[in-house]
Amino acid sequence: MLKLFTSHHVTSRLRNRSSHKLARRAFLTTLTDSKPTDTVSAKPCIDDCQTVVALPLLREPLIPGFYMPLYVKDPKVLAALQESKSGQAPYAGAFLLKDDKYASTASSYYGFETVNILDKLKGKELLKKIYQVGTCSGYIPYILSIQGKQVILVGRKRLQITEMVNRNPLTVKAQHIKDKPYDKDDEVIKATYIEVIGDSNYRKLAEFLLQKRRRNFTGLRAGIFDATDFNYQKLADFGAGICGANKHKIQEVLEELDIHKRLDLVKKLVEITKIREFHASIFPVTYATAEDKKEEYGSAEYVKQNRLSDTFRKRIEPIKEKIPKHVLEVIEEELANLDRKEYGFGSTDSIYSYLDWLTALPWGNCSDENFDVLRAEKILDEDHYGLHVVKERILEFIAVANLTGNPEGRKIICLSGPPGVGKTSVARSVARALGRKFFRLAVGGLSDSSEIKGDRRVYIGATPGKMVQCLKEVGTENPLVLLDEIDKLGNSCRDPEGALLELLDPEQNAHFLDYFLDVPIDLSKVLFVCTANNIDRLPGPLLDRMEVIELAGYTADEKMHIARDYLVKIVQRKCGMKPEQVNVMSDAALLSLIENYCREAGVRNLQKQIEKIFRKIALKLVRQQASAKAAMVDLESSETAAEGSIELTNEYLRLADVLKCDERKRRDSSHSCQKNNV
Ligand SMILES: Nc1ncnc2c1ncn2[C@@H]1O[C@H](COP(=O)(O)OP(=O)(O)OP(=O)(O)O)[C@@H](O)[C@H]1O
């Protein structure tokens, strides 16, 4: 069983080169059971060994086939081990402590044990605290010498304590316990074995855990996991040794002598480990806390309580009633799928992104529409001059909605006209008048239906189409969507027209199917407004479904009104100028501008020219303000200087007076003195 062991496993454990060499030799000679060397031939058979020093283990039981470094501080234990290595009984018994409190104070280095904290526990007291089933283990270097205070235990066979022989160090009589005989051809055992071995994740997990936990299994070739090396017992022990489960659970595996039951127990522990490792990779911080608690099933529970799917469950909870039944079914299905993948190491990315889109749509959320015709009329007049036909049509729409209480959102309005006549801006103000959210979708140059209908989920980096993106962005089911420049659709074999038709057709768009979402969504509440410069270029089927409103170019007189009442005010505001700061351009100036510079049908160029003029005025104003400030500063500084000189002069005069007065006093006093002397 142990002949496949290599030096690699040992070297990582030993501290210096010499101990490494010694240990290597020791292992190569010790573990080759089938080819005993001279030294080995002298050692007693393991089955003859009935009395062993009992070493308490803090963190986990020693599983046969694994080895475990152990620090021994108690000199009596060390002496007993020294004595036993001389050949009488070169084995020790390793028994797990039942109590958890010692484990928390043990060495932090995983897999290393220390017994010094158990110094006070002796004899029967210690016997009571350890499990009675443990592992008979050889220890390294039992042939040569004990390296300092470290012993490396190599798990060999299961052992059960029968009685205490010596109190200090605890020495016990023990009997070797054997696995229950089993039928190798038993279908259930075979099936369980295949289930564990056949799991592709098991191999990855085993290699990962071996590396991560720095566990060494003596049955492995240079760290290469080879499941075919195992018989049923070995596989069960191997799983128990690597799973890193709760120590009591591993002890259960150690104590289980029925191979079928042991395999079953290990299968469960490995499953739990998968969950823990996966969860640790996603939530390392929270996992660390859970790990600290050392509650194996507790942390599995923790994972359950913090599933990825919970984010989506929380998100849909308040709107569950409003989500259509067929969509809800898909969401539930995908949530279950996400849970399954999460627990099984599968990739959750695509499901996560799918659910992220599907649950973020504004199911049943509509903005409150305002069907007040007078208010709408006021807003439309506020934003645009003229355009009576468009305004009238919108007011009709609102009036019908007012009477029926149901907006006829299924109409498609197409505003057609030359550039700059206000098609886009009027659509924006219609949305404002109706109280709907506004979304502009530029379809000019669109060449692929996937831009409207999304990509199928099978493609990497697939995303939904523009319409789904629009709904997510606006957050309501009834926005006003402007399909700008619909007459400039790209020529492509990928049929963007077909996709647009499906989007706009009132008969179809109540069940619009986005390839990414793959569930029909209702777009019937969306008010579509299209713009086109030339409706002759529109595909027949599309044009057929639209209500076209022509916006002709403006006359010079209309442009005058637009410029004076709208454009000048807008531009002035944009340039940050107050009305009192600038004289409104005279009608003559505006007319000259319109007639000489802006002869096109729309007013976009007129707006640009007005902006140009206002920028020049802004520059002049700022320059004037700057020079006025500079002049003020000059003035202030000259005034200060003058004031300063006056103050100085006054001070000088005051001082001169004081001096004169003093001189006079001094002269008077000297004069009187002379008089007295005389
Ligand atoms: N009747 C109007 N009253 C007030 N402003 C107007 C009017 N018509 C156009 N405008 C202004 O002219 C500018 C250009 O308008 P807009 O961008 O809506 O033109 P368009 O018809 O959509 O042009 P294009 O076909 O090039 O997209 C906007 O600032 C808009 O406010």
> ipTM, 2 decimals?
0.96
Q: Highest mean pLDDT range out of 59-73, 85-99, 500-514?
A: 500-514
| Spatial distance between the Cα atoms of 227 and 544, rounded to a whole number of angstroms | 69
CA of 421 to the centre of ligand 1 (A): 5
Give percent of the chain above pLDDT 90: 3
The preferred substitution site among 385, 413, 421 for testing ligand 1, maximizing ligand atoms within 8 Å of CB, is 421
The preferred substitution site among 425, 430, 485, 573 for testing ligand 1, maximizing ligand atoms within 8 Å of CB, is 425
Q: Check pLDDT > 50 for residue 491.
A: yes
> What's the per-residue H, E or C state across 200-259?
HHHHHHHHHHHHHCCCCECCCECCECCHHHCCHHHHHHHHHHHCCCCHHHHHHHHHCCCH
Residue 39, pLDDT score: 39
Higher pLDDT, 314 or 143: 314
CA of 303 to the centre of ligand 1 (A): 57
| Spatial distance between the Cα atoms of 168 and 303, rounded to a whole number of angstroms | 45
CA of 423 to the centre of ligand 1 (A): 6
Which DSSP category does 180 fall into?
Answer: P
Residue 503, pLDDT score: 85
Name the least confident of 273-287, 346-360, 411-425.
273-287
Higher pLDDT, 638 or 527: 527
The SS3 of residue 582 is: coil
Higher pLDDT, 33 or 672: 672
Residue 280, pLDDT score: 54
Angstrom distances, CA of residue 507 to CA of 482, 512, 517, 528 = 19, 10, 20, 14
Region 479-492: mean pLDDT is 82
Region 553-577: mean pLDDT is 85
- Of 553, 556, 555, 552, nearest in space to 595 by CA: 556
Region 293-301: mean pLDDT is 44
Name the least confident of 12-16, 75-79, 373-377, 619-623.
12-16
Region 295-315: mean pLDDT is 61
| Spatial distance between the Cα atoms of 26 and 574, rounded to a whole number of angstroms | 87
Q: Is 171 annotated as a binding residue?
A: no
Q: Check pLDDT > 70 for residue 219.
A: no
| Spatial distance between the Cα atoms of 266 and 281, rounded to a whole number of angstroms | 22
Q: Is 424 annotated as a binding residue?
A: yes
- Of 233, 235, 225, nearest in space to 270 by CA: 235
CA of 652 to the centre of ligand 1 (A): 74
18: confidence class by pLDDT, cuts 50, 70, 90: very low
| DSSP per-residue letters across 29-92 | HHS-TTS--HHHHTSPPGGG--EEEEEEESS-PPPTTBEEEEE---HHHHHHHHHHHTTT--EE
pLDDT in tens, 318-352: 888 888 888 888 888 888 887 776 554 445 677 88
Give percent of the chain above pLDDT 70: 65
Q: Check pLDDT > 80 for residue 362.
A: yes
* Mean pLDDT computed over every residue of the chain: 72
Name the least confident of 83-92, 300-309, 413-422.
300-309
6: confidence class by pLDDT, cuts 50, 70, 90: very low
Which DSSP category does 130 fall into?
Answer: B
pLDDT in tens, 128-143: 888 999 988 776 544 3
Region 106-111: mean pLDDT is 36
Region 40-63: mean pLDDT is 74
Name the least confident of 72-86, 161-175, 504-518, 611-625.
72-86
CA of 381 to the centre of ligand 1 (A): 14
User: Is the beta carbon of 420 within 6 A of some atom in ligand 1?
Assistant: yes
What count of other Cβ atoms lies within 10 Å of the Cβ of residue 116? Answer: 13
Which DSSP category does 118 fall into?
Answer: G
Q: Check pLDDT > 90 for residue 274.
A: no
CA of 617 to the centre of ligand 1 (A): 24
Q: Highest mean pLDDT range out of 70-84, 422-436, 648-662?
A: 422-436
Closest CA to ligand 1's atom 5:
384
| Spatial distance between the Cα atoms of 539 and 492, rounded to a whole number of angstroms | 13
Name the least confident of 25-29, 354-358, 651-655, 663-667.
25-29
531: confidence class by pLDDT, cuts 50, 70, 90: very high
User: Is the beta carbon of 387 within 6 A of some atom in ligand 1?
Assistant: yes
Residue 493, pLDDT score: 53
Residue 438, pLDDT score: 93
Pairing of strands 547-550, 412-416: parallel
Q: Highest mean pLDDT range out of 13-22, 512-521, 577-586?
A: 512-521
471: confidence class by pLDDT, cuts 50, 70, 90: very high
E strands, 387-442, in order: 412-416, 438-442
Edge to edge, the sheet with strand 547-550 lists 438-442, 480-484, 527-532, 412-416, 547-550
The preferred substitution site among 424, 484, 554, 610 for testing ligand 1, maximizing ligand atoms within 8 Å of CB, is 424
CA of 538 to the centre of ligand 1 (A): 21
CA of 422 to the centre of ligand 1 (A): 3
Ligand 1 atom, smallest distance to 387 CA: 1
Sign of CA dihedral 233, 235, 240, 242: positive
Residue 14, pLDDT score: 34
CA of 604 to the centre of ligand 1 (A): 6
Q: Check pLDDT > 80 for residue 373.
A: yes
Region 456-473: mean pLDDT is 85
**Domain boundaries, given as residue ranges, for the chain:** 46-176, 187-299, 307-360, 373-550, 557-678
Ligand 1 atom, smallest distance to 603 CA: 12
| Spatial distance between the Cα atoms of 358 and 351, rounded to a whole number of angstroms | 10
Higher pLDDT, 334 or 229: 334
Per-residue exposure over 35-49, b if at least 16 CB sit within 10 Å of its own CB, e if not: eeeeeeeebeebeeb
Pairing of strands 438-442, 171-176: unpaired
User: Is the beta carbon of 72 within 6 A of some atom in ligand 1?
Assistant: no
User: Is the beta carbon of 564 within 6 A of some atom in ligand 1?
Assistant: no
Q: Check pLDDT > 80 for residue 461.
A: no
User: Is the beta carbon of 440 within 6 A of some atom in ligand 1?
Assistant: no
Q: Which CATH code of 3.90.1150.10, 3.20.20.70, 3.40.50.300, 3.40.1390.10 fits the domain covering 373-550?
A: 3.40.50.300
User: Is the beta carbon of 384 within 6 A of some atom in ligand 1?
Assistant: yes
Residue 125, pLDDT score: 80
pLDDT in tens, 599-636: 888 888 888 888 888 888 888 888 887 777 776 666 55
578: confidence class by pLDDT, cuts 50, 70, 90: confident
Region 583-601: mean pLDDT is 79
Name the least confident of 147-151, 582-586, 612-616.
147-151
Name the least confident of 123-127, 274-278, 415-419, 561-565.
274-278
Per-residue exposure over 236-268, b if at least 16 CB sit within 10 Å of its own CB, e if not: bbbbbbbbbbbbebbbbbbbbbebbebbbbbbe
Q: Is 172 annotated as a binding residue?
A: no
Region 178-197: mean pLDDT is 75
Closest CA to ligand 1's atom 13:
604
Fold for the domain defined by 46-176: 2.30.130
| DSSP per-residue letters across 584-629 | PPPHHHHHHHHHHH--SSSSHHHHHHHHHHHHHHHHHHHHHHHHHH
Q: Is 420 annotated as a binding residue?
A: yes
Q: Check pLDDT > 90 for residue 273.
A: no
- Of 443, 450, 528, nearest in space to 487 by CA: 443
Please name the residue ranges forming H helices in 283-361.
284-293, 296-305, 309-316, 325-343, 349-360
Residue 78, pLDDT score: 78
Region 426-441: mean pLDDT is 89
Residue 439, pLDDT score: 93
Asked whether the beta carbons of 446 and 496 are under 8 A apart, the reply is yes
Q: Does domain 557-678 bear CATH number 3.10.310.10?
A: no
Residue 669, pLDDT score: 60
Residue 448, pLDDT score: 78
